[in-house]
Amino acid sequence: MAHLKEQWPGLDAIPHPAGRRPDTLDMENSDFVRPMQRMFQWSRELGPIFETQAPGFGMVVVTGADLARDLFDDTRFEKYTGFGIEAFRPVTGDGLFTAYNDEENWALAHRILLPAFSREALMRYHPKMAGSVGRLVDHWTKTAGDGPVDLGESSVSLALDMIGQAGFGFDFGSFEGGGKNHPYVSSMVNALAYSVLPPQLQQEREAEFRSWVTTMNGTVDDVIDTRRRSGTSTDTDLLGMMMHARDEVTGKRLPDENMRYQVTTFMVAGYGTTASLITFCLYFLSRNPGVLSAVRAEIEQTVGDAEIDFESVYRLRALRRAVDETLRLWSPTPAFLRVAKEDTVIGGRYEVRRGGWAALLTSGLHRDPAWGEDVDAFDPDRFLPERVRAREPHLYKPFGTGPRACIGRQFALHAATLALAETVRSFDVEVPQDYTLSVAEGGFFMPENLEVSVRRRT
């Protein structure tokens, strides 16, 4: 790195948390239940970049917008499939999220599946999404008087139903299970939690992890086999496109094993982002009655009592601003990782060697001072068109960046906006006044122990 120091003589050392010990390093001050939130606390103490270490492990954490701008430079950095992501490779292999950048099946699947998330494709999925939302409405209507509703559980059930039905023609029976999750769902949740454990704890629970992977693989293989035996040649959903579409560049189709990985990838990523977004947004709307009133007035004016059709979802601007502000404050994905392609410097002050990587915390980036005053407050007006145009685009990255950004983000946004529109016009969802937001981490951020009262509106 001598040449870097000659080119940038004012390079700074990266700070680290106080209280570091020679034997355990930063472990004493870490939080293995809420590690990302602990790192965000450190960022407010240490600044927009710091490094943290445990025995056999170290990482650089970035939250500042100016540093993030450099990390988003695709000529110098790319996605890093390492910590937390690589641990999930036994589940999703070379699927779109966990594939290495140079793996052939990533580019193949990306080209084949991009049309599956186009506007035309979403129009095909919309009726099944609406049907899933209708099942939630029926369930809440029948059980509204039975006591508090676990909002996170309901959102997870809805998200799974929407993705299973619209994506793969599979019914998890989320609202008919009598409170019991489908074995695939339980295995998926446990595997996600496992993927972010420290290496030592992963070793202790490896046998359990393998059993969860076996359950998930068996379920997905059955779904694919059932579709294939049915002789249905439709490509109107994700599974159909995976099975029948050919890559325009190579003429190839997806291998069977990769199809399994892609199905699981979309289930894991899709359920987490959609369920988290719905839960957080309903929490914020309950806590901000003025915003909720404006959203309801817009729905009444735009849709009234009619069915919320595909085009109506895009006309709900006030609701979409609330969705975007929710993603700013609590993006479902806590961080994404970037690795240097070459020796370089970020922010003009900090060296990063080739192969060095950093975790970009969305919770920090989205609270950078460049967002203005009171960055912790819920204010959907931050997403008024004129304010969006005046803001640098690198400040807002809820779905990642570059070629490896989330391919299904429009699916998640459409599903969540549709679900929110129907629930807020159909129900009063009230968060208890004494509830203090506590956020769980299990691969995704999610409000913890959020039990709400649900009453049907007339």
Of 291, 283, 277, 285, residue with least CA distance to 449: 283
Q: Hunting for tokens 């084949």 — which residue is that?
A: 112
Strands annotated E in 300-334: none
81 is catalytic: no
Dihedral angle sign, alpha carbons of residues 373, 377, 379, 380? positive
406 is catalytic: yes
How far apart are the C-alpha atoms of 59 and 50, rounded to whole Å?
Answer: 9
Q: Hunting for tokens 């790192």 — which residue is that?
A: 39
Catalytic residue among 406, 417, 423, 427: 406
Using DSSP, state whether 451 is helix, strand or coil: strand
The enclosing H or E element of 272 equals helix 256-287
What's the chain's length in residues?
458
Residue 346 has phi, psi (to 5 degrees) of -115, 145
Task: Compute CA distances 28 → 31, 36, 252, 265, 267, whole Å.
Answer: 8, 15, 51, 34, 35
Catalytic residue among 170, 175, 336, 399: 399
281 is catalytic: no
Specify whether the CB–CB gap between 86 and 390 falls below 8 A: no
How far apart are the C-alpha atoms of 69 and 51, rounded to whole Å?
Answer: 19
What does DSSP assign to residue 12? -
The burial of 317, by beta-carbon neighbours within 10 Å (0-12 exposed, 13-18 middle, 19 or more buried), is given as: middle
Q: Hunting for tokens 């059932």 — which residue is that?
A: 226
Catalytic residue among 219, 273, 302, 333: 273
- For the annotated catalytic residues, the residue numbers are 273, 399, 406
